[in-house]
Amino acid sequence: MQINNEVFTLRSGEKLELSAQEPEDGCYLAVQLRSIEMPPGERHKGRPTDGVKVEQCAVLACERVQGKWQWQPIGMPSKESIGDYMIDVCHCEKDRWYFLKIIKAI
């Protein structure tokens, strides 16, 4: 099942389920916490707006369409939620692909 969004956004009530194995069916993305480095120099250790600690990683996502992977942009609030879920709840390793199943709200 395809997501069919230009930019993926989590909707109210949707649940996430993370796995190291690709699901056989359902709505899902391949996601990765990618290690990144900022240019040399001082950097904020937290978000300037509220001071919340940030990881040195980016959230990447792909969707399988007609049997081939393509990049899937994620909206910023959803990207933060997915990143927090992967880091704080699932304790995912950086630079490794996982599969994020999106369970629609009833």
pTM listed for this prediction: 0.83
Closest CA to 34 of 64, 8, 61, 16: 61
pLDDT tens digit at each of 106 positions of the chain: 455 558 888 888 889 999 999 998 888 999 999 998 889 998 888 878 888 888 888 999 999 888 899 999 999 889 989 999 999 999 999 999 999 999 887 7
Q: Are 85 and 16 in contact (CB under 8 A)?
A: yes
Which residues, at least 6 apart from 49, have a Cβ–Cβ distance to it below 8 Å?
A: none
Closest CA to 30 of 82, 76, 106: 82
